[in-house]
Structures are given as C-alpha cells and as structure tokens.
Structure 1
Amino acid sequence: MNLIRYKKAEKAQMAVMTEDLAIYDLSFSDFQEIDARASAREMSIHSFIKEQIQDQLPINKKISDLELLIPIETEEVWAAGVTYQKSRMARNYESSHQELNNETCYDKVYHAERPEIFLKSTRKRTLGPNQQLYLRNDSNWQVPEPELGLVINHQAKIVGYIIGNDLSCRDIEGENPLYLPQAKVWKGSCSIGPSIRLVETVENPYDLTITCRIYRKNELVFNQSSSTSQLKRKFDELVSYLVKNNELFDGVVLLSGTAIVPPDDFTLQDDDHIEIEIPEIGTLTNAVKMMVEQAAHC
C-alpha cells in the first residue's frame, strides 16, 4: 500500500494506491494529518486507511495520469553517511590525501558506535518527483546518491519508506570533511518521492533493490543496482541517534545512505535525467540544471 499526493483542481490531494494499482482518494491533503488521525485512534496508518476506503470506489485514473506532488512536506530531511562499504570506499577515495596512519575519518565512522547523521535539507529546499534539481556552479564532481528514506513520526516510529536523491559534491567534501554542509546542502539538492510505502506492507526492508539510471541526451550513461541487504547499520539504530537530544518534527525523513556510486571520472551535467527506482515504492525522476549565480540578499 502506497500513499501518494497529487494535484487535483489546483489543490493537493492525498490518495492511496493498493497492490492492484487501484487509486482511492483520501479526505486529507497531507501525510501528517493522516498520521495524527490514526494515532488519535491508536491505529496504524495502514489499518486506518483500509477503514477509510472500505466502502469507496477507486478513481478512474492510473498513476501515470496524475501530476504527482511531493508525497510529504517534511520540515527536515536528515541523512546518514558511510552506512555501506561502497560509500566508505568512495569517501576514502575522495579524501585520499587526508589519510592518517592509513585510516581516514570515514573508516572510523564506518566502524564507530555512533553513526554519521547530518541535516540534508529543509522543507523549502526539498523537491518532489519530476521537479528540477540544481548543480552547484562551484563544483566539478557531482553525483546523485540514491537512498532508501525512512518516514518517521513524532513518536520516533518508522511509519513508511520513501526514495531519496541526495545530490553530493565529491570534490568539495574530498577537499576537507568540514566542508560537508556545502557538499550536501544547497538549493534543489534533494528530492524525495514518488510515494510512501507503508511499513506494514514491506516484508523485509533489508531486502530492497535500489537502481539508479542516468540519461544524457536520451542516452543511458549510467545504470547500477544495489540492495539494502548491504547496509551495515539497522534502521532503528539510525533513528535512535537522530532523536538523541533533538526535537523531532512529525513526518521527518531520514535517508539511510547509499551503496551506488558512479565511476570516479563521472560527474552530472546540465539536463541529465536521474531515475531512482525501488519497485515497492516506484521511480523518482528528476532532471538537473547548473545553478546560475544570483546576487545575495542582505
């Protein structure tokens, strides 16, 4: 069961898509209201929605007919780093000149008790399916980072899964790990979508296939898959560190890391199209455009 959000009569409409691809409109415009209503009745979101649509007919449209919106307008998107061996190796390559006694900071965080967790995006910076992302104009080595995202409610409970695209500047971070915020956070550097897969309907979240495809002038230039089975840390562990001494907004998203890294000689270019697919959730598609320098507002 997947929750989607689409434009209907110029307004946001929440809906649910069942396993047979039937779509049922819900009497809500955002995910947080659904979660709040389900919590008030001490029900899971899955049970609550099943009750909502039990006497309802599906709409006469397919998902391809709808103008999908970002499925959750989250106040914050957080991200975990170096949670896969592939990510550890890539981050070490970026910062090979920073090695100390043959062990980098990325080796240390990969093995450490405390995971790396950082703020990736805010509500106004986070985009949805089919929206245009941006490339930094002061970086020469930029890549997507396809990730499984965890949708977390105010009770620190994982209630759903979503796809995330964590655009990253490998050269900026490789120059100095303290540049991580600039390598990760800028206008249009994060997208999530296209749906939220409810946690109760996923048999094993550590057995999901993630595929990333990049098209340049309609030609496929990158195609790689990985599995969440390669993840070093458990989702509950990541969430437990996110909430420590922290204020948790309802419907926050935590990206769980990536095991897909394009070749070291690859960088995104103007008008590239990125597709990130997790079959249980759908395909998140975004084009990228180089940022045009703007005057600062004081």
Structure 2
Amino acid sequence: MTRLVRTPAGWAVDRDGKLLALGATLADLLALPLAEARARYEAASAPAEAGPARAPVDVQEVWAAGVTYQRSREGRREESGHAALYDHVYAAARPEIFFKATAGRVVGDGEPVGIRADSGWDVPEAELGLVVNAAGEVFGYTAGNDMSSRSIEGENPLYLPQAKVYARACALGPAIVPVWEAGPGPFPVAVRVERDGAVAWAAETSTARLARTPEDLVSWLTRALDFPAGWCCSPAPVRSRSVISRCVAVTW
C-alpha cells in the first residue's frame, strides 16, 4: 500500500513507511490525465525528508455534497422545520453541492478544528473525500471532517454558508490513497468522539449506502466549473450530535 502525503518539505509517496520525494505538487499531478499522474507517482524513488503530515491539499478548493444518505435526510428533518425541502433534495436529480473551503482554510489530521462562537449546536461529519483531477477523474481518496453548525442551518436553510464555511471548519488527511491502491469500494466511513481519553460517541457507515454515486456528484459540479489544479469533494458524512476539537481521520 502506498499513500500520497504532504510534509513540511513537500509532497512524498509513503511506500510502506518509506518516504519518497514526488518532485511535484498535488496540483501538478491533478493537471495530468490519470494514467500519466499514476506513472509520475510510481516513478518516485529519491528519499524524502520526514516531518509532520500536513493537510493533503495545496491550491485546491474543497466542495461538499449534502443529503446523500437517507440518514442524513432524516437527521436534517429532525433539526429544522423544513422537512419537505430536504425530502426534495434527497429525491431530486440535481444534488445539493456547496463550497466548503479554500486550501488555506483546511486543517490537517490532529489539528484543532473550528467551532463557531455564535452557534449552540455544532457537529463533526466524517467524510470520504474524493480527490479529483482537472479532467473530472477521481485520482484518490482522503478522510475528512466537515464541521457544521446545526443550530444555524436548522434556523434557516439559506444560512447554510454560515453553518458550513468558516475558519478551520474543514479538516482533511492525513494522506491521499490513489484509486488504484484503494480498489473499487465500497468503503467504510467512521467517526469517533473522544473526551478525556474515553470514547463518548462512535458510529460508522459505508459508501454502499450513498443515494448518489461519487461519479454522479463529480459530473454535476464539473458541468459549469473548471478546476485546472484539481479539487476535493466530500460526499459521505457520518454525523454526531457532539462537538470534537480535533480531526480523527480514517485511514486504509
């Protein structure tokens, strides 16, 4: 198993614990067709300097898709007085897709996430993140945490940007697993909330329960937007009613 990681010294391929310098950025890889990106990835051979893993993005935007699970639809119905709206989004051909973060606002695994001071109910959402190239091909997968203010979104769905987009509200990492390493799926997605060393809440799901395929979500976002340096998308949440202060990433 190999993974793509970002260290303070740059991007590297983690091959069974041995770091090999990529000699390129993530943006460089995602500008290439998938086959060429794989060849460049697999050609990494020079030793790389080790260091703490950073969030696995450089200039990419992060987008997210909502109400992709039946459980997600039911949860949002419980939280707001707009049940019919979420029912419609779940069943409609057009998905809910929203902007989540710029690369500079993304935090890495183990870093503190943001909690809005003007919100009384904030939840982590564990995500399977898609890393997509400029041609709309899925290059790989990463783990993420889509921090959300349920009290703000529940008050009015038009407040979604304030509920979802704020400082340190998106956490990704610690690595990107290329599609050829991860296999075809489905993939498990899990979240665990720990307080004072004890597990306060835990849950898991599978991408087999997605109402929409990742490819379908990618096709909708790329209909009217260009991403020359690639982008990240998070379609698969597991939601908790508790608040966490650090990102706990799922790894393969």
Query: Normalization by structure 1: what TM-score?
Result: 0.78
Alignment of 1:210-249 (within 5 A): 210-249=189-228
Secondary structure, in 3 states, of the residue corresponding to 1:135?
Answer: coil
Give the aligned partner of residue 239 of structure 2: 261
Q: Does 1:98 align with 2:82?
A: yes
Q: Supply the distance in 1 between the matched residues of 2:22 and 2:242 (Cα, whole angstroms).
A: 43
Give the aligned partner of residue 15 of structure 1: 12
Q: Supply the distance in 2 between the matched residues of 1:125 and 1:13 (Cα, whole angstroms).
A: 18
Q: CA deviation at 1:115?
A: 0.5
Q: CA deviation at 1:164?
A: 1.5
Percentage identity across paired residues of the two chains: 35
Give the aligned partner of residue 128 of structure 1: 108
For 1:24, which of 12, 19, 28 is the aligned residue? Answer: 19
Q: Supply the distance in 1 between the matched residues of 2:22 and 2:216 (Cα, whole angstroms).
A: 34
Q: Does 1:77 align with 2:77?
A: no
Give the aligned partner of residue 46 of structure 1: 38
Give the aligned partner of residue 34 of structure 1: 29
Q: CA deviation at 1:131?
A: 1.9
Q: Supply the distance in 2 between the matched residues of 1:273 and 1:190 (Cα, whole angstroms).
A: 11
Give the aligned partner of residue 114 of structure 1: 94
Equivalent residues, number: 251
RMSD: 2.0
**Counterpart of 2:43 in structure 1: which amino acid?**
E
Q: Supply the distance in 1 between the matched residues of 2:141 and 2:119 (Cα, whole angstroms).
A: 31
Larger Rg: 1
**Counterpart of 2:98 in structure 1: which amino acid?**
F
Q: Does 1:5 align with 2:6?
A: yes
**Counterpart of 2:39 in structure 1: which amino acid?**
S
Q: CA deviation at 1:13?
A: 2.1
Q: Supply the distance in 1 between the matched residues of 2:91 and 2:226 (Cα, whole angstroms).
A: 27
Give the aligned partner of residue 53 of structure 2: 68
Q: Supply the distance in 2 between the matched residues of 1:83 and 1:27 (Cα, whole angstroms).
A: 34
Consecutive unaligned residues of structure 1, counting only runs of 5 or more, are 281-298
Q: Supply the distance in 2 between the matched residues of 1:184 and 1:35 (Cα, whole angstroms).
A: 26
1:3-55: CA deviations, max 9, x gaps?
Answer: 01112xxxx3211123xx2323224252112344x54xx834233222333xx
Alignment of 1:147-162 (within 5 A): 147-162=127-142
Superposed structure 1 runs of 4+ greater than 3 Å apart:
none
**Counterpart of 1:267 in structure 2: which amino acid?**
S
Q: Supply the distance in 2 between the matched residues of 1:222 and 1:44 (Cα, whole angstroms).
A: 42
